Structure formats: structure tokens, C-alpha cells
Structure 1
Amino acid sequence: MAVNDTSDCFLTNRVLEKYYLSTMYSLEFIVGAIANTIVVFGYIFCLKKWKSCNIYLFNLSISDLLFLCTLPALVNSYSKDQWSEDVLCHSNRFLLHANLYSSILFLMAISVDRYMLIKYPFRDQKRKTAVMVSVAIWIGVILELLPLLYFLEPLAASNNYKCLDYASSGDPVTNLIYSLFLTVFGFLIPLLTMCWFYVKMVRFLKNRREQISSALTLEKPLSLLILAMVIFSLLLTPYHVMRNVRIASRLPALNLSECTKGTIISVYIITRPFAFLNSAINPVFYFLMGDHFREMLMAKARQLLGRLTSRGK
């Protein structure tokens, strides 16, 4: 293959990183930061009685905000094609993956919580248990991602002082094993757990079909769990598939051509922003799930607006 053809393959990747990733991450930051900030302040100032589901949703919003705070640096680096230091690069990658895997775990916890609430409506879902589960999720995700810091390569002349993404760093053999581990335990098992509780809720609804009022009450959380599973499947599956394909393409045994590798990188780049789009979409669940969060937030907004109006007179 001609040198020009090979350079054209990787030129496409540089264009995608500079314009596509910068644009997508900018949009995610704007939408996600506004929506999640409203949610956090809404929970702090509007919610008087916290329940287990609220605790999981609040932690989900904190996870999203931590990730969103890394996006300005990410956008700046891709647009200028340079990073200032290793610490910023590695902390950014770590938080990015921490949000990815904590989000689905918290949504999994919500699915379990909703099932327990549906099956045992008069049993109090203890807040202490929700706090302990939330702490366990954070600790578990941090421990799960510690090997990531080993695979991330430092900024060096060999990589033009670029902050290489996780799939482009480290030894491809060991990295592929770790990536498959994350795919199975960080993505597939939580998603299958959500599906399992969804099936259990469907069966429960069928057994309670004759009780119309109960069925109508259960219809909303069930449809939201289905929506959560569909969204996570559509957003995260292409990313995990292409991440593993990207790492596998670096294996010397496969001996892939440079242009083939470039095409794989291009597809992988396209899937990345969609995997983290959940940070901007998650606030939908805050408005639709839980204790009439939207109504409480609107009531608080009208109250503040009324105060401002009365002061202006």
C-alpha cells in the first residue's frame, strides 16, 4: 500500500478526533452539566424525605457531574491536539471510565430497588442499605479500574505527546484480557441483571393483571426500566465491541494492514461519545422515576419565582 494511502487512513482519525469528538463532547457537557446540576440542587433543596431510590439516583447524578467536569479539558486537548501533563490525562481517562461503569451499576441497583418496591409495596426500603450499596459500588468501581492506570501510557515523544485512549495504550495481549473482564463484569452482568429483574416484574404483573389499579401503578416503573435497558444496550454495546476489536487489532499475530487498523480506529472513535451520552440522558430518569421529582422541582421553581416577583413590586 502506498504511503499516501496509509497516511490518509490516519488523517481521517485525526479529523474525527479534532472535530467530531470535540463537538460531541461539547454538546454532552452543555446539556449534561445543566441537567445534572438542576437534578443535584433539586434533590438537595426540594426533596424532604429521601428514599432508597433517591439515594441511588443522587449518586448517579454525582457520577455524571464528575465525568462532565473532565470534558472541557478533553475538548481542549482534542481541538489543539495536545495535553499539558500526565496527571490530567490519566485522571481524565479514569473518571471517564468510572462514570461509565458506576452509572450502569446504579441503574442496576435502581432496577432491584423498583422490583422490591413493586413486590413488597408495604416494606420500607431502608435508606441505610441504599447508602451501604452506594458506597460499595463506588469502592468496587475504583478497585475494578485501578489496573487502567497501569495500561495508560505517559505523554512521550513516541506518541507525539498525545493522551492515548485506553484501547490504544499498553500491551495489547494483557490489555485485551482486562478489557474483556471489564466488558463482562462491568457491562454485561449488570445489564443481564437488569433484564432478569425486568422479566421478574413482567411475571409479577401477569399474576396481578386482574388488579387493575395495581397494574396501572406498576406500569410506569416497568416501562422506565425497559427504556433504561434499551438505552444502555444501544449506547454501550457498540463501544464495548469496538474497544475490544481495537485492542485486538493491535495484536502482532493478526498482522493487520495499517489502513485496516485506521478504519477500526475510526469506527471506535465514532462509538466513544455515544457510550458517554448517558450522562446527558440520565436526568430523564430523575424526572420520571421516584417521588414526583418533576412536580417538586416545578413547585420550588414557582415558589422562587413568586418571591422574586413580590420583591420586584
Structure 2
Amino acid sequence: MNGMEEKAVENYIGLLILRQSSCKSVREHLLMRGMAEKETFYPHPGGLIDKEHTEEEKRALNIGKSVNNSGECAEMSEFLEMYYLSTMYTFEFIFGIIGNGIVVFGYIFCLKNWRSGNIYLFNLTLSDFAFLCTLPLLVSSYSKGTWSYENIWCQMNRFLLHANLYTSILFLTLISIDRYLLMVYPLRNHFLQKRSMALIFSIAIWVLVSVELSPMFIFIGIENTKEGETQCMDYASSGDAVQSFIYSMSLTVIGFTIPLCIMWVFYMKTHAFLKSHSSHFAGALTLEKPLTLVIMAVAIFSLLFTPYHIMRNVRIASRTPFWKVSPCTRNLIKMAYILTRPVAFLSSVINPIFYFLMGDHFREMLINKLRHFFKLFTTCCRCTFWRGTTQRRLNSIDL
């Protein structure tokens, strides 16, 4: 075998290796040796064969390009997790803590007469706080690219995150119903407007959501990547894909679609009631606030929660053996799913706005209470300053 034949055999074996390998560096090495697609022909053990007739080599190079594209897509999804998710969750943590903290302060120190709507909104705040408490661990893990805590903390983190999602959906639905009842029964003489019923419904929601999310502990947990790093996998990316898809569709129907339909029904009933009674109320300012509240609830539902549920189910479906998609397409779906995740939980930042639309003079009471505390604070600061100044003057006189 002469030198030309040895070279041809070496190149042909290299192409076969390229066809079976998923390593980007192998392809780059072979391309550097003159086997790029721009060449007119490839060396072959049997001689020089025209490119049009070397389908085996073409397929090998196509596989190499697919591997490269898949790697680039995977790197992009990792980039989104490290920078996009950590940034968005940091934003939500800071502003969510501030907004919900102000609301809790106002409800505890300002609001004396709690009604059914206030009870639902306070539970909504508790749900938001539970979610916000999970964010520091998530931000830390995404920014470092690894999960440094126990498996139970990963499971509890994901559980609380989804508990916030579905309790928020149900409490927003109850708020829409409560606002409609307030217009129809302004004297609050309907049994669903009683505080005892609001407490019962609130407890029932927490129990229901806990039960429907309990199977999630089977699917979520920490996993070791090929690089040897530990990751706290999100629900749509872990567990058996087929079982996870069935469970996700059930959650979507029970926890999202049905409440969304109920909310739309009461939005239309509220709008119809206002339209039919608009002539009886000059200005109708007291009736417009409930409609604004319902519109906001429907908007949050439609704009924040819908994309997340669609992409979560698409993401899980792309992992099943029934949907044949390329690795790069699967990673593009994962990237779109990543983009929708923090958007869905922006509700924790927006929810405090509901408290200022309740029509219970909450804003006025909160502002008055904050002014009172500010006066006390400034008075104490002045007293401390003058006491210190007086003491220093007395000390100088003694000297």
C-alpha cells in the first residue's frame, strides 16, 4: 500500500468515526485535514470518488453539522438558565418582597374589618411569600450552574413554586366570584360572602393544591449531568416523560383550564351586570372597581399563565419517544419553555396591586399608618440627636 492509499484509508476511517461520534472536536480535526464540504472530491480506499456519489460521506458530514447545531442550542439554553433565570428571579424576589411586605404590614396594622375578599387576598400574599422564599436557592444554583443542597430541598423548592402557581390561580378565581357577588349583593347577605365561608374555601384550596401536587415528588429531584455537576431539575425536564406528560395535562385541565373558564364566565356576568345597571348609577364609580379587578385577574391569567402551561406541555411532549424531534429542536423548545417560567411568576410582583383596587379604603389606611410610623421615627431620631447634643454640652461644661 503506497502513501496515497494509506492517506485515503486514514481519511475514510476518519469519516466513519465522524458519523458515529458526537464530539465537536473530532469533526473540526477532520475538517482541518481537508475533508470540508467545499472539497470537490474525497479520498476513498478504492480511489478518488466524486462528491455526488459519496452519500455515505455526505451523511457523515450532515451528522457532524447536526451535532454542532445541537451543541450550540444546548449552550444557549444553559446561558438562559444562568443569566436570564437568575436575573428575572432576583428582580421578582426584590420587588415581590417589598410589595407583599407592604401589603402584609397594611393588613395586620391597618385593616380591622376583614371581609371575604380580604381573606382571599391575604392568602394570595401568603402564597406569594412561600414562592419568594424559594428564589434565593434557585438564583444561587442557576448562577453557579450547580445545585449545592440536599435532594429534599430541591423537591420542596419545586413543590412550593408550583403550589404558589396553582393557589394563585384558584384565589384569583375566588376573587373574581367575590367581586361579582359584591355588585349583585351589595349588602353582603349572600352566604358565599360570609367570612366563615371564605376561611373554609381558603383552607380547602391549600389542601386541594397540596394533594394534587403530591405526585410531583415522584418526578422531581436532583440529577448528575455528564460534566459531573448536580442539577435540581425542573419538573418538565425530569422523570419519566410519558407519565410526566399525562400528569402535566391533568394539572393543566384541573388547575388552569377550568378556573380560567370560570373566571371568564364571571367576567362576562360582571360586564353584563354593569351594562344593564349603568343607567341607575350616576358615574358608577363603585361598580367600575370590581370590573377593573376582574379584568386584571383575567389579564394575569391569560398573559402570564397561558404561555407557561403551553410550553411546559410541549417541553414534556418533546421528551417522549412518540414525538421524533431533533436534539436541536428539543433544545429550542426548552429555551422557549425557560423564557415562559419567570413570566408566569411575575404574578407575585403584580398581585399586591389588587389590594389597592379592593375599595376598602386600604390605600388611605396604609398611607396614614405609614405617615404615623414615619412621624414616630423622625421624632425618635430628633430626641436621640438632641439628647446626644445636650449631653456633649454638659460634658464640655464640666470640663
Matches of 1:5 and 1:63, distance apart in 2: 41
TM-score (norm 1): 0.96
Question: In structure 2, what is the equivalent of residue 224 of structure 1?
Answer: 293
Where does 1:171-250 land on structure 2 (aligned, <5 Å)?
171-213=240-282, 215-250=284-319
Partner secondary structure for residue 123 of structure 1:
coil
Give the Å deviation of 1:214: 7.6
Aligned partner of 1:150 among 205, 218, 223: 218
Question: In structure 2, what is the equivalent of residue 303 of structure 1?
Answer: 372
- Please, which runs of 5 or more residues in structure 2 have no aligned partner? 1-62, 384-399
Matches of 1:53 and 1:176, distance apart in 2: 35
TM-score (norm 2): 0.76
Question: In structure 1, what is the equivalent of residue 164 of structure 2?
Answer: 99
Matches of 2:162 and 2:188, distance apart in 1: 35
CA contact (8 A) 2:176 2:297 kept: no
Question: In structure 1, what is the equivalent of residue 154 of structure 2?
Answer: 89
CA contact (8 A) 1:85 1:155 kept: no
Matches of 1:295 and 1:216, distance apart in 2: 17
* CA-to-aligned-CA distance 1:224-245 (integer Å, 9 cap, x gap): 2112211221111111100000
* CA-to-aligned-CA distance 1:3-23 (integer Å, 9 cap, x gap): 322211100011000000000
Question: In structure 2, what is the equivalent of residue 128 of structure 1?
Answer: 196
Matches of 1:174 and 1:155, distance apart in 2: 18
Question: In structure 2, what is the equivalent of residue 21 of structure 1?
Answer: 85
Question: In structure 2, what is the equivalent of residue 70 of structure 1?
Answer: 134
Amino acid at match of 2:121: L
Partner secondary structure for residue 162 of structure 1:
strand
- Please, which runs of 5 or more residues in structure 1 have no aligned partner? none
Amino acid at match of 2:215: P
Partner secondary structure for residue 155 of structure 1:
strand
Partner secondary structure for residue 8 of structure 1:
helix
Matched, 1:275 2:344: yes
Amino acid at match of 1:215: A
CA contact (8 A) 1:232 1:278 kept: no
Matched, 1:54 2:123: no
Aligned partner of 1:37 among 97, 101, 120: 101
* CA-to-aligned-CA distance 1:249-302 (integer Å, 9 cap, x gap): 011122211001011001110111001110011011112224121111001011
Single out whichever of 213-222 and 280-289 deviates more from structure 2: 213-222
Give the Å deviation of 1:103: 0.4
Question: In structure 2, what is the equivalent of residue 112 of structure 1?
Answer: 177
Question: In structure 2, what is the equivalent of residue 163 of structure 1?
Answer: 232
User: Which aligned runs of 4 or more in structure 1 are off by greater than 6 angstroms?
Assistant: none
Give the Å deviation of 1:216: 2.6
* CA-to-aligned-CA distance 1:96-116 (integer Å, 9 cap, x gap): 000000001001111111111
Give the Å deviation of 1:310: 3.3
Give the Å deviation of 1:121: 0.7
Single out whichever of 122-131 and 206-215 deviates more from structure 2: 206-215
Q: Figure out how many residues of one structure are paired with residues of the other and give that number.
A: 313
CA contact (8 A) 1:156 1:162 kept: yes
Larger Rg: 2
Partner secondary structure for residue 278 of structure 2:
coil
Matches of 1:17 and 1:157, distance apart in 2: 15
Give the Å deviation of 1:157: 5.5
Matched, 1:137 2:205: yes
Give the Å deviation of 1:309: 3.2
Amino acid at match of 1:173: V
